[in-house]
């Protein structure tokens, strides 16, 4: 009997420890209450065993998720504020880093169509290195049949052609990388808690043609003011054929927020804005079929879901 008991000790406990270390996500959640509850369940099962922290290479860090979905923003936090990244890469592009509440953080954009495993690598000026793998999950995006507003006077292929031209124009702005980060606080929703009338990534079909919606639509009451999501510098302000009255705010180091289809804009190119400043009023201008605010967020030219992006730092 004693030997059976010993065999159980020898076989079962190491298996359990192995299972725990393999299945516990390599993340420390941003919500401390969730972190402590998951530790509790393990401690109760194995009261004599202290759960081992998974071992990582490199400095102490926290990743908000290792299994992001297409369009998400994963948040990387490095706990040592003196760390200086020398080189970094994720999906072939360098990352941007920010000082935030005594940490060094980076917003990691997860593009649509990037399902699979992707390695994140950073080397620091002190010689340390870190590598993490993000397992990008597929997201189901809804498909809707949507007409083109008559006021545009465009067929679907003409609209798609024009959107491609507009994208080229905007990329010259969105490719800017200031050395300075203009913000030091979390981002906010530009029209409060308004209802969402269009989601990020949904596909809008007109006949055979498909247009991917690379932002989120809010439907606040008419006349609602639009507020800057965070501090930054106005890079574009004015009327555009497709996007209507629009504003682009550069938040620094490759992060931009775009506000489209407004009734009017109340800022000018070059203005510095603070989080919450009024930049315009909700409207129905350009490629739009009703009053709403379209918000897009770009991180190093990658379009991400603005809702997930804003929530990443909260």
Question: At 217, phi and psi to the nearest 5?
Answer: -105, 130
275 binds Zn ion (CB under 5 A): no
Going by C-beta distance under 8 Å and a sequence separation of 6 or more, which residues neighbour residue 60?
A: 78, 79, 80
Q: Strand 73-78: give its sheet, edge to edge.
A: 61-63, 73-78, 103-109, 98-100
Q: Which is nearer to Zn ion, 295 or 299 (CB)?
A: 295
CB of 161 to Zn ion, least distance (A): 19
Q: How many helices (H) and strands (E) does the chain have?
A: 4, 21
CB of 260 to Zn ion, least distance (A): 7
Alpha-carbon torsion angle 264, 268, 273, 278, nearest 10 = -20
294 binds Zn ion (CB under 5 A): yes
H or E element at residue 18? helix 2-23
CB of 48 to Zn ion, least distance (A): 56
CB of 286 to Zn ion, least distance (A): 10
> Which position has the token pair 């880093």?
97
Q: Which is nearer to Zn ion, 294 or 298 (CB)?
A: 294
Rounded CA gap, 205 and 194, in Å? 25
Tell me how many degrees the CA angle 252-258-259 measures, rounded to the nearest 5.
Answer: 140
Going by C-beta distance under 8 Å and a sequence separation of 6 or more, which residues neighbour residue 77?
A: 61, 62, 63, 100, 103, 104, 105
CB of 164 to Zn ion, least distance (A): 17
CB of 288 to Zn ion, least distance (A): 8
Span from 51-59, 107-115, 207-215, 277-285 in contact with Zn ion (CB under 5 A): 207-215
Binding-site member from 217, 231, 250, 305 for Zn ion (CB under 5 A): 217
Going by C-beta distance under 8 Å and a sequence separation of 6 or more, which residues neighbour residue 2?
A: none
Please give the size of the binding site for Zn ion, defined by CB under 5 A: 4
Residue nearest to Zn ion (CB): 294
Positions 141 through 200 that interact with Zn ion (CB under 5 A): 198
Q: Which is nearer to Zn ion, 112 or 136 (CB)?
A: 112
Q: What b/e sequence results for 145-173 when a residue is b if at least 16 CB atoms lie within 10 Å of its CB, and e otherwise?
A: eeebeeeeebebeebeeeeeeeeeebeee
Q: Which is nearer to Zn ion, 167 or 272 (CB)?
A: 167
Tell me how many degrees the CA angle 105-75-73 measures, rounded to the nearest 5.
Answer: 130
CB of 201 to Zn ion, least distance (A): 11
CB of 145 to Zn ion, least distance (A): 16
303 binds Zn ion (CB under 5 A): no
Q: Which is nearer to Zn ion, 186 or 198 (CB)?
A: 198
Rounded CA gap, 66 and 113, in Å? 17
Contacts with Zn ion, residue ranges (CB under 5 A) = 198, 215, 217, 294
């Amino acid at each position: 009997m004693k030997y059976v008991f010993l065999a159980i000790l020898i076989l079962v406990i190491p298996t359990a420890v192995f299972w725990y270390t393999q299945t516990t996500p390599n993340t420390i959640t941003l919500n401390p209450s969730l972190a402590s509850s998951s530790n509790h369940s393990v401690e109760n099962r194995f009261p004599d065993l202290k759960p081992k922290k998974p071992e990582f290479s490199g400095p102490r860090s926290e990743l908000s998720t290792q299994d992001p979905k297409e369009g998400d923003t994963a948040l990387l936090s490095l706990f040592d504020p003196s760390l200086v990244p020398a080189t970094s890469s994720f999906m072939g592009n360098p990352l941007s880093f920010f000082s935030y509440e005594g940490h060094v953080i980076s917003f990691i954009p997860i593009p649509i169509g990037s399902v699979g495993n992707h390695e994140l690598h950073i080397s620091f000026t002190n010689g340390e290195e870190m590598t993490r793998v993000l397992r990008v999950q597929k997201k189901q995006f809804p498909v809707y049949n949507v007409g083109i507003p008559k006021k545009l006077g465009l067929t679907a292929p003409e609209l798609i052609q024009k959107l491609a031209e507009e994208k080229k124009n905007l990329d010259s702005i969105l490719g800017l990388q200031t050395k300075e980060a203009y913000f030091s606080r979390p981002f906010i929703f530009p029209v409060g808690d308004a209802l969402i009338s269009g989601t990020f990534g949904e596909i809008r079909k007109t006949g055979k043609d498909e247009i991917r919606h690379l932002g989120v639509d809010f439907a606040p009451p008419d006349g609602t003011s639009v507020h800057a999501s965070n501090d930054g510098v106005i890079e574009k302000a004015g009327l555009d054929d497709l996007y209507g009255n629009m504003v682009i705010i550069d938040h620094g180091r490759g992060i931009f927020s775009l506000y489209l289809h407004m009734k009017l804009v109340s800022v000018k190119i070059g203005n510095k804005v603070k989080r919450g400043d009024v930049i315009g009023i909700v409207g129905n201008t350009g490629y739009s079929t009703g009053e709403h605010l379209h918000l897009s967020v770009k991180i190093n030219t990658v379009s991400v879901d603005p809702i997930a992006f804003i929530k990443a730092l909260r």
